[in-house]
Every structure is written in structure tokens, then in C-alpha cells.
Amino acid sequence: MAFSKIDIPRWAQHFLECGIEDCERNCEFYCNPCHQRLCKQCSEEHLKSPENKNHEVVLYQQRKQQLPVEKCKIYPTKDVDMLCEECQVPLCSKCATMGDHERHKFVDLEAVYAEKFALFQQEISKIQEYFLPTSQDLQKEIKKDSSEIKHIMDNIRTSMKTEGESLKSLVDTVISENMKQLDQIEHSLLEDLNVQDKTMDDYITYLHNIVKKLHRCLSSTETQKLMSEKKPKIQSIPETTKPVTPGFTAGQYTKSDVTKLLGKIHVPNTKVEKREIRPIERVYNTAMKPTHKQMKEDRKKSDEKQTMSLSASVTKVREFNVPGVDSVHHVSLDQSDRLWISDSDGNLVQTDLQGNVIQKIKTNGGLGYHTVTQDRDLIFTDQNKKVINRITQDNNITEFIKTGDWEPLSIYSSHINGDLLVGMVTDGERQAKVTRYNKTGKELQNIQWDNKGQGLYNSPCYITENINGDICTSDLLNRAVVVVNKSGQHRFSYTGQGSEFDPFGICTDILGHILVCDYVSETVHLLDQDGQFLSLLLTQQQGVRRPRSVCVDDENNLYVGQFKTNTLTVYKYLLEV
């Protein structure tokens, strides 16, 4: 688009022209004494003139700022062009001869003005290049902290509600059991009293019959009949017993006892940490400024924890095949002498510890994720139908929980409170989360984001719970073991010991160790409950090939299932520091 001269917009820029009349070349230089813009040619001509030979001609960017024209208030025909050094007062040359400034030292006001102007420009530059950006970064950090605080507080609220719901559920369970017991006692006592009442009713009828018989004898006119009637032998009164009624001992508890059960808010008694403000020298001395990578490496070195040195004694105990599955995809302990094993075709097989099949169930469960509850019900996920199914002891299968738009993957029944922990994904925006349900199937908690608003999970394909309540998941797409506390706050992520890490089956033992299968390196990693690597518990040297599933009992018997085989291997492991 073309603009005419009068149409040039106010935001348009134009090159700086030489100040010499009729010269249209670009300005490159500046004469400080004359305050004249000059091109290269005009600057050379300017210095050739005898009266200008001592003039200071500099690059335009290095020019001195011209002193504004200011008339003296005492002598209006004179310009203010001097500064009294002692009085620090600008004045004209005539004022400098007055008695107030006699014998004082004077300097060129223009030089002082230019120096002051340059100093203030430098301060403006500092503000624009350091103080403003640094303050804005701190403000962003403050806003970020505000957002994090909201997430943390929401997680705490969710945890408090979860604890409350869990306690309510336990209270309801205890009251229900007590009521049931009371109903049974009442029924037994009333049944016994009814029997006694019937006995007494029969006895009273018996007595009335004797009385009637005797009255007939007395009223008879035949004396012989009365004389011949024998004296009746009356049966003893039947024995009865008084009922022993139950009592009720009210619970003795205080607010403090309830607080211990539900937990309480605590604020860490730590010194408030000041936000780091980068030194101003870093802005003007970039050669000394460490790179982000260097700072990260230094921080990593200073924060690095020393790994515990652990040796593990591992012994192969036995090995058996599981008929009815083509690959031991997932394994769960049912009780001390039974296991549930599943494959990716929806086959669920219950065996004893020698591999003898007790029962087999065919499901549409997809990937075979399952768990056994405290009541020994079998729970398994159906990813296709987006439901969680329950199989009771009498093999009655019901749709226990419907998960809406979310596809349930991994599932685990808590040994602490019986809650169900379910890893889920949704195809919509490829989101993932862990949801907590109570034993009745009521949703209690959703864990999806860390305290920075970032997604915690991508594919929580295996899940378990540690003895401290931590929720541990194997996330295959994230290639990490992701661990959060029971409130849902992210504690740590473990990404293996090499360049690649493909976590699958995961479990914890009675000491809080985390055991996880690494499919790519064909090993089982052992971590402490804070995520520190302790050792490779199983490697290819123990005959492990592509481990897929793992669980451990209270005797440190480790059950390992491997991909594309129905063989289950049992190891005994002991740890020594």
C-alpha cells in the first residue's frame, strides 16, 4: 500500500538526515560543540574549516546531549551555561562574577548536563533490562505459587474428605454388624421365651382338665363313683428360665481421638525461604553468568543422595505352568495357598501354589487386570465396556462400577482400608488418572495433576499401594514409576537405571520396598519407599525373560510372570545391607 506525503502514518519511521542544508544523505556523525548532525562527507568538510578544526566530531550514537536553552532569571538576555561546583547552582556567565560566587570554581554546565543525562539513561537501561524483567519474573513466580497453593489445598481437602468418608464407612459397618448381632440375640431370646410360654400354656390346660374331672366326681350322686376315684397325681410345675439380656458399653472417645483417626492440618515449622533474586551483575557480565544447564547440573550434584548399597540373596523355589492362560499378564494373591492369574485374552484362572487349577472364568476384561478384596471377592476391569466387575464367592458376576467416559486399566484393592484404586485413561484428549472408590463403589478421590498443574499419568497400566499409603503406578508411556501419597500429592517418579525403562508389573513387600518389572532390560528393580534404587533383584542370570507381572507374599516369596509364556516362577529373596 502506498502513502502520499500527507498520509504517512505517525508510527512510520524515517532515516535520520544530515543537518547541513541541501544535504539529503544519512546522518552518521555529530559535532558536539555545534550540536550538528553530519554525514560522512559533511563531517570531513566541517573539520577542514579552520574555525572547526578543534571541534569534537563523534559517532551519532556517542553524541553529548545538548543543553536546553534556559535564560537567566537575573539577566534575561544571558543563557544559563555554567555550574558553580561549590553551590551546585546553574547560572550565567555574568552571575558568576557576582559576590555570592566570588572565587568559586565553575564548570561547563553542558558537560555536566550531558554526563547527568547519560547517567540517567543508564539507570533507565538498568530498569528496563534488569529491574523490570526480574520483578516481572518474580511476579510470575508468585502467581504460579498461588496456583500451586490452590492445587495443594484442593488435594488436602480431597484427602480430608476421603478420610472422613472412609471413617463414615467404617462406622456404618460397625453399627450394621452390632445391629445384626443384636437382632440375632433378640430372636434367640424371644424364641426361647415362646417355647417356655407354650410349655406353661400346656401345663395350665392340663391343670384345668384335672379340676374339671374332680368337679364331676364331687357333683356325682353316685357315692360309689366318688369312693372309687383315685386321688390324681399332679405333675410338677415345669421349670423355666429367666432371659439373660445383653448390655451395651458405649464407646469412650474424645475429639482428640477422632482427630487422630482423621488427621489434622499441620504447618511446617520451617524458616520462610526468600525468593532468589538474580544479581544485577549477571545482566552486565554475561561472560560470568552460568548457563541454565550448568546451574541444573550443579544443583543435581548438591542434591544427589547417596544410594544404599544392598546385596540380595535370591533363590529359585519352584516353577509351574498355568493351564488356561497363554501369557501370565497379571498375578494376584488370593490367600496363603491360592493365586489368581490372567492373560490379555480375558482368561482368569485360580490355582494353588503347584499350578493345579481350582476354577477358570472367561471374561471380556480385555487386558486381564484384576485384584482380590479383603472379602476374597475378585474384581476385574472391562476396558471395552468401561465397567468394573465383581465376582463373589458363589461365582455371581455383577457390574460393580461404571466408569463413564474413562477406560479402567489397572486395579488394586487396598489392604489398609479396602478401598479400590483404579488407573484409567480417556481417548478424548489422552488424559489419565487414578480414582479411589470405597468398598461400596462410591467415588472418593481423583488423582490427575501435580502441584504445577501438569498431568501425572499417561498410561497407569499397573498399580499397587505401599505400607505408608503411597499409591505406586507403572506408567508405560511415561516410562516411569509414578508415586503419590494417599492425598494424591506427587512424591517422586523413578525412571530406571539406563537409557530405556519399560515398567510393567509392580508390587510392594511388608517392609515397604517397591518391586517393578523392567521389560526392556529383563530385570526386576528393587526400590525403597522413597524411590531410591537399591538393587536389580532379578536379572537374566536368574533366568528372567521379559518379566510382565509380579507379586510378593508376607514370606518374601516373589511370583514372576513372563511375556508369551504361561510359566509362573517363584523366588525367595533376602536383603542384606
User: CA angle at residue 341 from 339 to 342, to 5 degrees?
Assistant: 160
Average pLDDT over residues 428-454: 89
166-204: per-residue pLDDT in tens? 889 888 998 999 999 999 999 999 999 999 999 999 999
User: What's the confidence (pLDDT) of residue 15?
Assistant: 56
Q: Are 434 and 410 in contact (CB under 8 A)?
A: no
Confidence band for 395, pLDDT divided at 50, 70 and 90: confident
User: Burial, 75: exposed, middle or buried (Cβ in 10 Å; 0-12, 13-18, 19+)?
Assistant: middle
Selection from 90, 96, 93, 94 nearest residue 109 by Cα: 90
Flag the least confident range among 2-11, 101-110, 509-518: 2-11
pLDDT at residue number 550: 94
Instruction: Report pLDDT for 295.
Output: 37
Q: What is the mean pLDDT of the chain?
A: 84
**pLDDT of amino acid 283:** 53
User: Which cell is 10 given?
Assistant: 505517525
How far CA 231 is from CA of 206, 211, 213, in Å, comes to 16, 12, 11
Rounded to 10 deg, the angle between the 132-218 and 255-262 helix axes is 120
120-174 per-position pLDDT tens digit: 878 887 888 888 888 988 999 899 889 889 988 988 888 889 888 888 988 899 8
Buried b or exposed e, range 149-182, using 16+ CB within 10 angstroms: eebeeebeebbeebbebbeebeeeeeeeeeeeee
**Are the C-beta atoms of residues 358 and 351 closer than 8 Å to each other?**
yes
Q: Of residues 275 and 47, which shows the higher confidence score? A: 47
Question: Alpha-carbon distance 246 to 243, whole Å?
Answer: 10
Return the higher-pLDDT residue of 521 and 276.
521
CA distances from 218 to 230, 234, 442 (A): 13, 18, 79
Which pLDDT score, from 0 to 100, does residue 457 have? 95
The CATH 3.30.160 portion of the chain extends over 14-62
Q: What is the reported pLDDT for 459?
A: 92
Question: pLDDT tens digits, residue range 442-499?
Answer: 999 999 998 888 899 999 999 999 988 999 999 999 999 999 999 899 999 999 988 7
Instruction: pLDDT band for 561, please (50, 70, 90 cuts).
Output: very high
| pLDDT of amino acid 577 | 53
Ranges 90-99, 131-140, 274-283, 553-562: which has the least confidence: 274-283
In the structure, what pLDDT confidence band is assigned to residue 366 with cuts at 50, 70 and 90?
low
Predicted confidence at residue 288, as pLDDT, reads 36
Question: At 16, which helix (H) or strand (E)?
Answer: none
Is the model's pLDDT at 532 over the cut of 80? yes
CATH 2.120.10.30 domain position(s) in the chain: 310-576
The mean pLDDT of 539-543, rounded to a whole number, is 87
CB neighbour burial string for 505-544, b if at least 16 within 10 angstroms, e if fewer? bbbbbeeebbbbbbbebbbbbbbebebeebbbbbeeebeb
Backbone angles phi, psi at 260, to 5 degrees: -65, -35
Distance CA 441, CA 405 (A): 17
Question: Does pLDDT of 11 surpass 80?
Answer: no
Is the confidence at residue 531, as pLDDT, over 50? yes
The pLDDT value given to residue 159: 85
Phi-psi region of 386 (alpha: psi -120 to 50; beta: other; left: phi over 0): left
User: 95 pLDDT band (50/70/90 cuts)?
Assistant: confident
- Pick from 509, 507, 512, 508: which is nearest to 561 by CA? 507
Cα distances (Å, whole numbers) of residue 407 to 330, 434, 441, 447, 465:
18, 11, 16, 15, 21
Mean pLDDT of 205-214: 90
Does the domain made of 310-576 have the CATH classification 3.40.50.2300? no
| C-alpha to C-alpha distance for 293 and 118, rounded to whole angstroms | 36
The model's pLDDT over 14-52, given as tens digits with 9 standing for 90+, comes to 457 888 888 888 888 999 888 899 999 999 999 998 899
> What confidence tier does 367 reach under pLDDT thresholds 50, 70, 90?
low
Cβ atoms 537, 569 nearer than 8 A = no
Triad 403, 404, 407: Cα angle to 5° = 60
Average pLDDT of 410-425?
93
User: 410: closest CA among 348, 486, 473?
Assistant: 473
Reported confidence tier of residue 286, pLDDT bands at 50, 70, 90: very low
Pick the CATH number of 14-62 from 2.60.40, 3.10.105, 3.30.160, 3.40.50: 3.30.160
